[in-house]
Amino acid sequence: MDLEDFKSFSRVLKPSGVGSIPTHSRQIRSGAFPRVALVLFLLAALGGSARAAEGPPQASPFWSSSRSLVFPGWGQLHNGSEKKAIVLFSLQTYLIGRVFAAERRARYYQDRMNDETPGWSREDLHARYDDLRDTRGDLVWWSSLLVLYSVIDAYVDAHLVGFEEQVEQVERVTASLVPTDGGAEAAIAFRF
């Protein structure tokens, strides 16, 4: 092994920022996040399923929306919307996983810019790095919008818990239309 082979070999084995021994055990892998999030979601779902047998919970809109802010889909699960909770959780987990993957790939290209890797021009590496950082920013934006939607949806759903039961109790609906000067007035009455 000559000096050039040793230099190219040592570029591949970069030590982690923690110690001088190359290791991956101290780094969080992007594939681990979806598994951890899935386990937490299933634990929350199992806790919510015991409550579902008792009937719809009397949810506080503030606490339901706060739960959705802390963990994606938790507020919907608390309100009794299991399917919506699963969809929101899945979308949020997917977006967060893509954010971590884009960040990891951007760091890879950034490291290659500093190492002067043969076969790559610095401009190509910089362009790929910028594209991945832009992609990461877009994914963070979409993820933030999904969290905002989840919080608002949990808040509205908490207000509507039990609404279907109230609608079923309506015996008669009457509507009237009264003409006035230059228009009309409409009235709807519900009898319980």
Q: 179 vs 92, which has greater pLDDT?
A: 92
Q: What pLDDT digit, counting tens, does each position of 108-150 carry?
A: 888 888 776 677 788 888 889 999 999 999 999 999 999 999 9
For helices 32-52 and 82-115, give the axis angle rounded to 10 degrees. 170
Q: What pLDDT digit, counting tens, does each position of 28-55 carry?
A: 455 556 666 665 665 555 554 444 445 4
Instruction: Look at phi and psi of residue 55 and say left if phi exceeds 0, alpha if psi is from -120 to 50, else beta.
Output: left
Q: 58 vs 149, which has greater pLDDT?
A: 149
d(CA 89, CA 10): 42
Place of tokens 């982690």: 16
Amino acid residing at 174? T
pLDDT of 24 above 90: no
d(CA 148, CA 181): 45
Alpha carbon 88 to chain centroid distance? Answer: 7
d(CA 86, CA 74): 9
d(CA 180, CA 173): 23
Reported as a pLDDT band with limits 50, 70 and 90, residue 66 is: confident
Token pair of 77 as six digits: 């699960």
- CB count, 10 Å around CB of 96? 19
Angle at 152 between CA 150 and CA 156, to 5 degrees: 115
Q: Kindly report the backbone phi and psi dihedral angles of residue 176, in degrees, each rounded to the nearest multiple of 5, phi listed first.
A: -140, 150
Reported as a pLDDT band with limits 50, 70 and 90, residue 10 is: low
Amino acid residing at 35? R
Strand-pairing partners, residue 178, are: 185
Tell me the average pLDDT of the chain: 74
pTM reported for the whole predicted model: 0.56
Token pair of 25 as six digits: 């055990």
